Structure 1
Amino acid sequence: MKKEEFSLRSPGMIGEEKFRQYAVFVPLIDDRGATYLLFEKRSKKLRHHPGEICFPGGKLEAGESLQECAIRETTEELQINSTQIEVIGPGDIYISPFNLMIYPFLGRIKDYKDTYGKDEVEEIIKIPLDFFKNHQPQRFETKLIHEPPEDLPYEWIPGGTKYPWAKGSYDLLFYSYENWIIWGMTAQIVKSMVGLIEEYDILHK
């Protein structure tokens, strides 16, 4: 690799190898003149996050792009064909403080018949997009705790055991619609994506 290429490189992320990478599809569904966001309620049989509400998606597999991952997971979980999926574009990346990156993609599902795979999905949920446009989520600030390992060489650090470690926090968001609670990472993605839909006038025909 030549140094002339350095100015043209796309920056990577330091420590990226420690992050698990996932992609999700944020589906828009048109029904009787209204637009809905489609969510899944995860099966209670699943080991991770059973019973929670989320978008279709999953972990990136070797050899596939993030968009391909989002489409593959959506076809599997909603039991649809990839030809029914129209990808509009990428959303903003959600970086979790717990070594997780989620890449959302916005799109439409055409001719959807409310199908889903019962091994992974307990039910599907449709919530009007206008609800999210007109309602802000409830926000709760959560503190992050810094816990150095017991064998940390404090003698190498100015101040030693009294070193003033930086403190951090992150927001927990909650949307409440009828009997449903959309929260956590999914709520963060909803808030971001709804903002992009309005900013880019996605629904304008």
Structure 2
Amino acid sequence: MARDLISKLTVALERDGAGSSDFDLNPETVLPEGRKLRPAGVLVPVSVVADTPRLILTKRSSALKHHPGQIAFPGGKQDEGDADVTATALREAREEIGLPPEMPRVLGHLPIHETVTSFSVTPVVAILDSSFEPIAEPGEVDEVFTVPLAHVLNPENYVVESRRWRGQRRHYYAVPYGPYYIWGATARMLRGLAARMSE
């Protein structure tokens, strides 16, 4: 089962496709010309240790200035010392959830996602075929949890919702799971993976 999943993920990641952004569902948004985006990398870690493959996510600390309490992939902005965005994603995963950097088997990348906070985010998809004990980074991560991969790969589980942001109504994807409200950039990147896996 794991081998079949890895094969399907690899094929999906090799497909050509446009990037995504926080503005995909808001076509009236006018982005400023010459805007500068900061590179970032996030890890999309899929554990295949158990019979049911599961995606590892984090709940950000409610004390953070940016995106408090939101569901996110382990990741962050690229530092000067990072060789590339893959190295960024692996470093951040080690810091945020205690994932040993040699453990993930990187399969590839999803197209770059532009966020409303001016980041150019590269999602790095990786397989974990051995277990580890997650350690949430104090002050950054309130919780490390998993959802069945099948849940986020099913396009029918996604809904489009909206809220007011900076005086305008902004639409976004959400893919709720139990008590976890997965939305915004995280849901949009996962929706892109679901679409690729459905092709």
Relative to the length of structure 1, the TM-score reads 0.70
Other-structure match for 2:110: 91
- Asked if 2 retains the 8 angstrom alpha-carbon contact of 1:40 and 1:56, the reply is yes
Distance 2:160 2:187 in 1: 10
Equivalent residues in 2 for 1:100-111, closer than 5 Å: 100-111=119-130
Cα distance 1:172–1:45, how it changes in 2: closer, same or farther (>3 A)? Answer: same
Does 1:187 find its partner at 2:187? yes
Q: Which has the higher contact order (CA 8 A, sep 6+)?
A: 2
Distance in 1 between residues matched to 2:165 and 2:64, nearest whole Å: 27
Measure the CA separation in 2 of the matches of 1:112 and 1:46: 29
Unpaired segments of 5 or more residues in structure 1?
1-13, 147-168, 200-205
Please give the root-mean-square deviation of Cα atoms over the aligned residues, in Å.
2.5
Retained in 1: the 8 A contact 2:153–2:193? no
- Aligned counterparts of 1:170 and 1:94: Cα–Cα separation in 2: 17
Aligned to 1:25: 43
How many residue pairs get aligned? The number is 164
Q: Indicate conservation of the 8 Å contact 2:49/2:130, yes or no.
A: no
Percent identity over the alignment is 27
- Asked if residue 66 in structure 1 is aligned to residue 79 in structure 2, the reply is no
Verify the 8 A CA contact 1:43 1:118 in the aligned structure 2. Answer: no
Task: Please tell me whether the aligned partners of residues 49 and 131 of structure 2 are also in contact (alpha carbons under 8 angstroms).
Answer: no
Q: Distance in 2 between matches of 1:74 and 1:174?
A: 23
> 1:38-77 alignment to 2 at 5 Å?
38-64=56-82, 65-77=84-96
Give unpaired runs (5+ residues) of structure 2. 1-32
Compare CA radii of gyration and give the structure with the larger one. Answer: 1
Contact 1:93 1:101 in 2 (8 A): yes
Distance 1:132 1:47 in 2: 27
TM-score (normalised: structure 2):
0.72
- Residues 144 and 80 of structure 1, relative CA distance in 2, 3 Å threshold: closer
Judge conservation of contact 1:27–1:38 (CA < 8 Å) in 2. yes
The 8 Å contact of residues 113 and 189 in structure 2, kept in 1 or not, is answered as yes
Q: Structure 1 residues 55-64 or 95-104, which shifts more?
A: 95-104
d(CA) in 2 for partners of 1:185, 1:53: 10
**CA shift in 2, pair 1:84/1:197, >3 Å:** farther
Give the aligned partner of residue 133 of structure 1: 153
Task: Report SS of the residue matched to 2:130.
Answer: coil
Q: Counterparts of 2:180 and 2:162 in 1: how far apart (Å)?
A: 21
Equivalent residues in 2 for 1:133-152 (5 A)?
133-134=153-154, 135-140=156-161
Q: CA distance change for structure 1 residues 91 and 99 in 2, over 3 Å: closer, same or farther?
A: same
Q: For residue 142 of structure 1, report the CA deviation from its aligned partner.
A: 7.4
Paired with 2:131 and 2:190, the residues of 1 have a C-alpha distance of 21
Matched residue of 1:77: which SS?
Answer: helix
Residue number in structure 2 paired with 1:114: 133
